[in-house]
Copies of this chain bind each other. A is one copy, B any other.
Amino acid sequence: MERFEVYILGCGSALPTTKHFLSSQVVNMRDKLYMIDCGEGAQLQFRAMKQNFQKLNHIFISHLHGDHCFGLPGLISTLGLLGRTADLHIHAQSDAEKLFAPLFQYFCKELPYKVCFQAFNPGKSELIFEDKSLKVTTIPLKHRVPTAGFLFEEKPRSPHIIREMIDFYRVPPSQIRAIKEGAPFVTGEGETIPYTVFTRPAEPPRKYAYCSDTAYYEKVIPIVAGVNTLYHEATFSSADLARAKETFHSSATQAASIAKAANAGRLIIGHFSARYPDEQILLNEALEIFPKTQLAYEKMILKV
């Protein structure tokens, strides 16, 4: 099946530890790379995971807290040193350009490529990127500052050809493409055969959702319903629920409740507070509600 993977570059929360890097992930959709958030050190982890900077054309920033975007200046600068010429798109709230563009202008004077800021409104769910194989939609979240998660949806793929039927009806190769797209085949005898005879349906499109940072927020559920993989922040344990509320973060139990209500294929929890030396406590909480839960870790590779 076509590649659709997620690489965890960092899954710690605001305070970096010796164990975790700051928030950043890369979605690999058919060998095109999309970065989600770009905490300090993201470019180091990208390189440590042996990913190709040339395949990265879009960066999506969930919100303007430093632990989700302070890696941008270094990454932008490195792409320039590597001789990039293709435009790079940064999808973020409108303040991002105001804040980072002066830095890029000063520090990356001879940048051989263009940085294009694409502002989105985190207050409503909207389609912010689309190409022939992928759609990216925002997921409004509930945090101390305007924040949106991202839903990565594969577009429906063409059905699979049943070789035996092609041979049986002696379909010329030139017509196979049209049949995959739904055209009927007319035999030498004038008989019309519908495309469904020659094909079996493709696997259903896969979906990945990233929800960080956010308090428990039920409005997320219909947007992420049925995703194959849900990454949801679980900064705190239920024992620290008061702190979670105060800081607009989620507990592991809350993350699992969202995954359960959304009927997710599996849940990956991350954005761990530095206060838990052993994150098993977070995992155990989530497992009670939603058994298909895993802890995120640096350099984790998820097949969506």
Contacts and interface: CB of A to CB of B under 8 A. Distances in A.
A74 B77 CA distance: 17
Contacts of A16: 43-44, 47, 74, 78
Given A40-B41, A108-B66, A78 B15 contact: yes
A70 B16 CA distance: 16
Given A74-B40, A95-B106, A99-B106, A47 B18 contact: yes
A86 interface: no
A111 to B, nearest CB: 11
A103 interface: yes
Nearest to A16: B44
A8 to B, nearest CB: 16
B106 A47 contact: no
A71 interface: yes
14 contacts: A14-B77, A14-B81, A16-B47, A16-B78, A18-B48, A21-B44, A40-B41, A40-B71, A40-B73, A66-B107, A66-B108, A70-B107, A95-B106, A99-B102
Interface of A: 14-18, 21-22, 40-41, 43-44, 47-48, 64-67, 70-71, 73-74, 77-78, 81-82, 95, 99, 102-103, 106-108
